[in-house]
């Protein structure tokens, strides 16, 4: 037991109080900022009594509930020594508070020779909580760790809804809301990457919580491997959320003196709605995860060659594509799959990271020189973790792949997975990528991962998703140290590896392989709950999406892509002159508002089911850019008014529809009168703007500039 009964952390958006009166620390309060309320008051108000047919002393929801403590929910820690010593009892040994925003709690079980460390950091500006659990084997024999969650956090039971994320390839980040209930909501991911279908994020909220009002807690596990999301309401009415790395059997066995640290859990609270929660996470990412690498540099507009040439690389075509891209205003030219030895399709070549001289007889130099002469940077696609059986690398080193002997290998996209935990594999991949980055002026890597880990075991048969993920981080970090100026995108068949763990090593996330504009609205909305626009890869695809088959107007496709890290992915040589002019105008518009989109605050708007709308507002409220898309028909003769958000109520704004250049109207509408009108922030947010008649699948972009700002 400690002499420090309560510890308090505060941020601009919330307060957090830890109760350390018992053997183990627990969260007493986490919510709206506290003023004069004392922890002693909160503790008194939380007094619970013995209930019929229950234990005389109720087990608290500690940061790591343990078997044997009386806790009847999911333990935060499952360990044992050959089936024994599984009922551990760590008690607080010391508390270290580095400053007003970070603390470390050391607990020990001297009987079972285990030390437990909880680290909690409350970011003072964003209010995002980072929390980790670390276990140390202080005994003389091996300790098996089956589960070590990040700190378990209680969540009030009066918040009756869970908003979770699901999806599939080319349809990621789909939000699904369900009612909380007495019992468990559990979601496991065994894909070996963050996954398309079980993004490690969770929101607990009230049914009355909207984008701009009401309470909500959001949680995200920053980990790029297997994970488990667990939230429960116990039969006694208390609720909690618990997240951690899902460990396969025998993945973590600690020798004496070894330790295991959970992935970081990132969590935040707001009583101002879901958009406020998103803004808090965006602020955290910008200040804590990506600022040191990209701060002060505009995010270059991309052109990616994939949907233009696929594997058919030809000198003249690529040079002409580069010229056309530069004319449109593109700033980075990315050569996608198909440039290395034997890569004429997806059945061969992976692993042989040498420029194919049958296509590029002088190497990549002439193409890179051409790209740079046009004022663009050059980027290159890699998929380092994978190998084709039809490759020189696999023929030489079949023992370098993951497998599950004696079971047959499972192919996915004609690929096997290299065992990154092997030093020989790490060294080979580092040498190949380092060699290419040293020989050529490559400013950007698109780092892809196109399959899941179905048989994640090394030659010894031991499961190794944990080691594979850690080894991936180590490889990227090693390359970053050697080439600090190179930017890296995390791509995994789209958004299959999108999390704060990989974002500590990369600068951009490819959100989805689908460039279908209507699909992208939903995908990017889900993505926006945790990630800001500047890390969201968002491309203008061809008129007919090669995944969905849907045809969309260029004005819609460009208007959707403009709100991320913008790019193009189409055959530019097939475009008519009018289409080129439209694309050029869209890129110019993006550059005009790029600083705002990549630094402003997001406000998703409440709209009827037939519409989709959001805006980016400057932190000083001086300007804003809002997007409105009519996705379907409305039942009324005219659509509803659109109520804006985030504007300064007492300020006047010049309002203009800036995209498309000539919005279509069958009859005169408000668009004929709106041009450069002066309107108050209050009128736009309280009363709203009457929207014009539009056909489905049409978009408007509306700019607002504060008068005399």
Burial 249-267 (b: 16+ CB within 10 A, else e): eebbebeeeeebebbbbbb
* 221: enclosing H helix or E strand: strand 216-222
Does residue 344 share a domain with residue 203? no
- Report the CATH number that the domain containing residue 159 is assigned in CATH: 2.70.98.60
Across 183-187, average pLDDT = 96
Cα→Cα distances 527→196, 285, 494, 533, 617, Å: 12, 13, 12, 9, 18
**Which residues are tagged catalytic?**
448, 513
Q: Is residue 592 part of a domain?
A: no
Provide the token pair at 507. 């600068």
Res 330: pLDDT: 98
Lowest mean pLDDT among 78-92, 290-304, 323-337, 605-619: 290-304
Binned at pLDDT 50, 70 and 90, residue 2 comes out as low
DSSP state of 373: H
What are the tens digits of pLDDT across the range 690-699? 999 999 999 9
| Whether residue 291 has pLDDT greater than 80 | no
Does residue 109 share a domain with residue 67? yes
Q: Is residue 515 part of a domain?
A: no
Q: Is residue 581 part of a domain?
A: no
Does residue 307 share a domain with residue 222? no
- 7 strand-pairing partners: 18
What is d(CA 334, CA 538) in angstroms, rounded to the nearest whole number? Answer: 14
What are the tens digits of pLDDT across the range 15-46? 999 999 999 999 999 999 999 889 999 999 99
- How far is CA 315 from its chain centroid? 36
Does residue 279 share a domain with residue 306? no
Cα→Cα distances 336→27, 311, 678, Å: 48, 9, 47
Nearest to 192 by CA among 399, 393, 492: 492
Res 459: pLDDT: 83
| Whether residue 423 has pLDDT greater than 60 | yes
What are the tens digits of pLDDT across the range 227-245? 999 999 999 999 999 999 9
| Whether residue 661 has pLDDT greater than 90 | no
Does residue 195 share a domain with residue 70? yes
Q: Is residue 378 part of a domain?
A: yes
Q: Is residue 490 part of a domain?
A: yes
Res 1: pLDDT: 52
Does residue 165 share a domain with residue 113? yes
Q: Is residue 623 part of a domain?
A: yes
Cis-peptide, bond into residue 660, ω within 30° of zero: yes
Those residues with Cβ within 8 angstroms of residue 535's Cβ, 6 or more apart along the chain or in another chain? 285, 290, 503, 507, 508, 509, 565
Provide the token pair at 551. 């045809």
Residue 565 · residue 644 · CB < 8 Å: no
What is d(CA 463, CA 457) in angstroms, rounded to the nearest whole number? Answer: 4
Res 664: pLDDT: 79
What is d(CA 114, CA 122) in angstroms, rounded to the nearest whole number? Answer: 27
- Report the CATH number that the domain containing residue 627 is assigned in CATH: 2.60.40.1180
What is d(CA 120, CA 26) in angstroms, rounded to the nearest whole number? Answer: 12
What is d(CA 244, CA 148) in angstroms, rounded to the nearest whole number? Answer: 7
Does residue 191 share a domain with residue 263? yes
Across 591-601, average pLDDT = 98
| Whether residue 295 has pLDDT greater than 80 | no
- The torsion angles phi and psi of 129, rounded to 5 degrees, stand at -95, 130
Across 109-123, average pLDDT = 97
Based on its alpha-carbon atoms, the radius of gyration of the chain, rounded to whole angstroms, reads 27
Does residue 486 share a domain with residue 631? no
Looking up tokens 């330790």, which residue turns up?
259
Lowest mean pLDDT among 185-194, 279-288, 655-664: 655-664
Those residues with Cβ within 8 angstroms of residue 684's Cβ, 6 or more apart along the chain or in another chain? 643, 644, 647, 653, 655, 704
What is d(CA 567, CA 544) in angstroms, rounded to the nearest whole number? Answer: 17
Domain that holds residue 496: 292-510
Those residues with Cβ within 8 angstroms of residue 70's Cβ, 6 or more apart along the chain or in another chain? 55, 57, 58, 59
Provide the token pair at 22. 């018992």
Residue 39 · residue 8 · CB < 8 Å: yes
Looking up tokens 């087990």, which residue turns up?
59
- The torsion angles phi and psi of 300, rounded to 5 degrees, stand at -65, 140
Provide the token pair at 378. 């050059």
- Mean pLDDT (the chain) is 96
- The torsion angles phi and psi of 673, rounded to 5 degrees, stand at -115, -10
What are the tens digits of pLDDT across the range 247-280? 999 999 999 999 999 999 999 999 999 999 999 9
Q: What is the DSSP string of 519-575?
A: HHHHHHHHHTTTS-GGGEEEEE--SB-TTT--B--HHHHHHHHTTSEEEE-S-GGG-
- 571 strand-pairing partners: none
Looking up tokens 């040589």, which residue turns up?
573
Does residue 269 share a domain with residue 224? yes
Nearest to 272 by CA among 451, 580, 623, 33: 33
| Whether residue 709 has pLDDT greater than 70 | no
Domain boundary among 510, 535, 560: 510
- 510 strand-pairing partners: 537
| Count of domains forming the chain | 3
Q: Is residue 372 part of a domain?
A: yes
Res 619: pLDDT: 97
Domain boundary among 510, 540, 559: 510
- The torsion angles phi and psi of 172, rounded to 5 degrees, stand at -80, 170
* Count of beta carbons in the 10 Å neighbourhood of residue 162: 21
Does residue 284 share a domain with residue 310? no
What are the tens digits of pLDDT across the range 546-592? 999 999 999 999 999 999 999 999 999 999 999 999 999 999 999 99
Res 643: pLDDT: 98
Binned at pLDDT 50, 70 and 90, residue 55 comes out as confident
Nearest to 227 by CA among 174, 186, 189: 189
Q: Is residue 555 part of a domain?
A: no
- Report the CATH number that the domain containing residue 375 is assigned in CATH: 3.20.20.70
Cis-peptide, bond into residue 303, ω within 30° of zero: no
Res 99: pLDDT: 86
N- to C-terminal Cα distance for the chain? 57
Domain boundary among 237, 259, 289: 289
Does residue 362 share a domain with residue 271? no
Taking CA 346 as the corner, what is the angle to CA 343 and CA 351, rounded to the nearest 5 degrees?
60
Taking CA 225 as the corner, what is the angle to CA 223 and CA 228, rounded to the nearest 5 degrees?
75
Does residue 320 share a domain with residue 267? no
What are the tens digits of pLDDT across the range 483-513? 999 999 999 999 999 999 999 999 999 999 9
């Amino acid at each position: 037991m400690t002499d420090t009964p309560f510890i308090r952390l505060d941020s601009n958006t919330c307060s957090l109080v830890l109760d350390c009166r018992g053997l183990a620390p627990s969260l007493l309060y986490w919510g709206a900022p506290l003023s004069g309320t004392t922890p002693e008051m909160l503790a008194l108000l939380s007094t619970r009594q013995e209930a019929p047919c229950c234990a005389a002393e109720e087990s608290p929801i500690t940061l790591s509930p343990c078997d044997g403590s009386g806790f009847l929910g999911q333990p935060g820690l499952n360990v044992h020594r050959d089936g024994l010593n599984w009922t551990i009892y760590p008690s607080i040994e010391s508390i270290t508070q580095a400053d007003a925003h970070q603390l470390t709690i050391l607990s020990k079980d001297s009987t079972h020779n285990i030390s437990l460390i909880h680290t909690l950091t409350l970011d003072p500006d964003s209010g995002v909580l980072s929390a980790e659990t670390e276990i140390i084997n202080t005994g003389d024999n091996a300790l098996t760790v089956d589960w070590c969650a990040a700190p378990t956090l209680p969540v009030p039971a009066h918040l009756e809804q869970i908003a979770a994320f699901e999806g599939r390839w080319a349809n990621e980040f789909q939000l699904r809301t369900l009612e909380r209930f007495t019992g468990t909501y559990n979601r496991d991911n065994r894909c070996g990457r963050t996954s398309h279908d079980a993004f490690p994020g969770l929101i607990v909220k009230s049914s009355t919580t909207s984008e701009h009002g009401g309470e909500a807690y959001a949680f995200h596990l920053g980990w790029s491997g297997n994970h488990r999301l667990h939230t429960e309401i116990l039969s006694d009415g208390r609720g909690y959320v618990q997240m951690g790395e899902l460990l396969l059997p025998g993945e973590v066995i600690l020798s004496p003196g070894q330790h295991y640290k959970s992935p970081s859990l990132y969590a935040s609270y707001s009583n101002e709605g879901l958009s406020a929660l998103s803004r808090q996470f965006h602020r955290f990412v910008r200040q804590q995860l990506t600022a040191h690498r990209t701060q002060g540099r505009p995010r270059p507009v991309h052109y990616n060659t994939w949907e233009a040439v696929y594997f058919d690389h030809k000198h003249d075509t690529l040079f002409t594509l580069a010229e056309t891209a530069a004319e449109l205003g593109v700033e980075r030219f990315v050569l996608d799959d198909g440039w290395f030895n034997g890569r004429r399709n997806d059945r061969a070549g992976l692993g042989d990271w040498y420029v194919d001289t049958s296509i590029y007889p002088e190497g990549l130099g002439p193409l890179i020189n051409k790209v740079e002469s046009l004022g663009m940077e050059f980027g290159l696609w890699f998929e380092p973790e994978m190998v084709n059986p039809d490759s020189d690398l696999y023929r030489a080193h079949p023992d370098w792949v993951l497998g599950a002997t004696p079971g047959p290998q499972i192919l996915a996209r004609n690929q096997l997975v290299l065992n990154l935990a092997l030093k020989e594999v790490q060294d080979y991949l580092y040498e190949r990528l380092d060699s290419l980055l040293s020989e050529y002026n490559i400013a950007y890597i698109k780092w892809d991962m196109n399959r899941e880990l179905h048989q994640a075991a090394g030659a010894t048969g031991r499961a190794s998703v944990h080691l594979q993920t850690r080894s991936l981080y180590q490889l990227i970090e090693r390359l970053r140290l050697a080439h600090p100026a190179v930017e890296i995108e995390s791509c995994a068949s789209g958004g299959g590896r999108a999390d704060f763990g990989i974002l500590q090593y990369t600068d951009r996330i490819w959100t989805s392989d689908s460039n279908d504009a209507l699909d992208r609205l939903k995908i990017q909305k889900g993505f926006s709950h945790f990630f800001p626009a500047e890390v969201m890869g968002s491309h203008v695809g061809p008129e007919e999406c090669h995944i969905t088959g849907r045809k969309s107007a260029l004005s819609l496709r460009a208007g959707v892509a403009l709100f991320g890290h913008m790019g193009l992915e189409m055959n530019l040589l097939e475009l008519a002159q009018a289409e080129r002019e439209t694309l050029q105008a869209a890129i110019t518009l993006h550059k005009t508002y790029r600083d705002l989109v990549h630094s402003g605050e997001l406000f998703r708007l409440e709209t009827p089911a037939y519409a989709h709308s959001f805006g980016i507002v400057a932190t000083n409220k001086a300007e804003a850019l809002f997007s409105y898309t009519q996705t379907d028909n409305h039942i009324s003769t005219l659509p509803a008014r659109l109520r804006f958000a985030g504007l300064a109520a007492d300020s006047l704004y010049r309002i203009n529809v800036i995209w498309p250049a000539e919005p279509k109207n069958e009859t005169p509408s408000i668009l004929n009168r709106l041009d450069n009108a002066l309107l108050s922030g209050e009128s736009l947010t309280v009363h709203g703007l009457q929207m014009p008649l539009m056909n489905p699948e049409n978009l408007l972009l509306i700019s607002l500039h504060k008068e005399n700002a």
